[in-house]
Amino acid sequence: MVLATEGHCDWEDMTTETFEKLGVPFHRFNQDELSLRFPQFDMTGVKYGLYEPEAGMIMAHRSVISAVNLFRKLGGKVARGCVQTDASEQVYLDGKLITNDLIIISTGSWMGEMFPRTIGPLSNVIGLNVLYTSTPEGTTQFDHDFMPCWIDHGHGSFGMPSVEGHGIKAMTVIPDSIDLDNDERLIRQDTLHKTRRYIETRLPGLVGQKVVDSKFNQITMTPDTHFIIDWHPEHKNILFAGGCSGHLFKHGPVFGDFVAGVGLREYGSEARFRLGKRTKPSPKDSPSGR
């Protein structure tokens, strides 16, 4: 569910047009309708909401395991080792140069660090704090059967209902720096109050509930929040596939299929995914609303 806050509806208006153009099933509810259908939320300040009845959530850890198992089943080999690059950005596995005809680089937040000249200028790694909050005893209204995932750009937040007893997941975007190889993944205590305040404001039924888990996540953002799918300008066997890792995972199957076609040279990449100078667009023109 996408919540369109008064004065912050450009991206949500464009999303409505995109849904209509592509035939995506959705309902547009006004504030009163939202409050009636989703009483878990305090809809103060919300102009309207977009609800997708066919949308859901993806269990990331299970998805990765399933993908690896399928890859092996299809004959793929999984090797664990240390991947590094040299000054010319050629790729080495455990100190040995990789000379395959096609090397797809999809190393998420580490891609900019591995390719400082080519990807570094396009890749900004930020840390995000996520809280999981307990739900009141005896109620199921915060469970995924009765509550949707949501995006709340007006507050720079998003979240998902309780799944398998893990509690409500909510995050307020508070960009934080991170050293990928040396920092511990610990939530910053001085940022807790902002996320707590959001939860208590938008989800008043959770006032007084406790944090039952917390995670410090790192994601990659490109300046225009578009993906990166392009060949290395010097090494024609290296294909980059990444950018905007938070949103990219949800697009994984389609993204992977498109990258495979580019890698097999069945077609070229889209202009918006290629290397080159990028600038931050307005929220209306941004694919992610950021």
Residue 273 CA to residue 45 CA, distance in Å, equals 35
Q: Do residues 229 and 204 both lie within one domain?
A: no
Output the CA angle 210-46-150, nearest 5 degrees.
Answer: 50
Q: Do residues 156 and 118 both lie within one domain?
A: no
Q: Do residues 183 and 238 both lie within one domain?
A: no
**CATH code (residue 111):** 3.50.50.60
| Spacing of C-alpha 91 from chain mean position | 27
Q: Do residues 163 and 228 both lie within one domain?
A: no
150 within a domain of the structure (yes/no): yes
235 within a domain of the structure (yes/no): yes
Residue 1: pLDDT over 90: yes
Could you tell me which residue, 194 or 117, shows the higher pLDDT?
117
What's the domain count of the chain? 2
Q: Do residues 239 and 200 both lie within one domain?
A: no
Q: Do residues 196 and 230 both lie within one domain?
A: no
Q: Do residues 259 and 146 both lie within one domain?
A: no
151 within a domain of the structure (yes/no): yes
Q: Do residues 166 and 199 both lie within one domain?
A: yes
Residue 126 CA to residue 40 CA, distance in Å, equals 30
Q: Using one digit for the tens of pLDDT, what is the confidence trace for 54-80? A: 998 888 889 999 999 999 999 999 999
Q: Using one digit for the tens of pLDDT, what is the confidence trace for 204-230? A: 999 999 989 988 888 888 988 899 999
165 within a domain of the structure (yes/no): yes
Q: Do residues 210 and 149 both lie within one domain?
A: yes
37 within a domain of the structure (yes/no): no
Q: Do residues 194 and 153 both lie within one domain?
A: yes
Domain that residue 133 falls in = 127-217
Q: Contact 216/129 with Cβ under 8 angstroms?
A: yes
Q: Using one digit for the tens of pLDDT, what is the confidence trace for 157-169? A: 899 999 988 899 9
Q: Do residues 110 and 243 both lie within one domain?
A: yes
Q: In which residue are the tokens 């891609």 written?
A: 111
141 within a domain of the structure (yes/no): yes
Residue length of the chain:
290
What is the average pLDDT value for the chain, to the nearest integer? 90
Residue 48 CA to residue 157 CA, distance in Å, equals 16
Q: Contact 227/243 with Cβ under 8 angstroms?
A: yes
pTM of the model: 0.88
Q: Using one digit for the tens of pLDDT, what is the confidence trace for 232-261? A: 999 999 999 998 777 788 888 999 999 999
Q: Using one digit for the tens of pLDDT, what is the confidence trace for 2-27? A: 999 988 788 899 999 999 999 999 99
Q: Do residues 131 and 212 both lie within one domain?
A: yes
59 within a domain of the structure (yes/no): no
Residue after which a domain boundary falls, among 173, 194, 217: 217
7 within a domain of the structure (yes/no): no
Structure tokens at 206: 């959770």
N-term to C-term CA, the chain? 17
CA distances in angstroms from 150 to 32, 54, 124, 219, listed in the order given: 17, 14, 25, 19
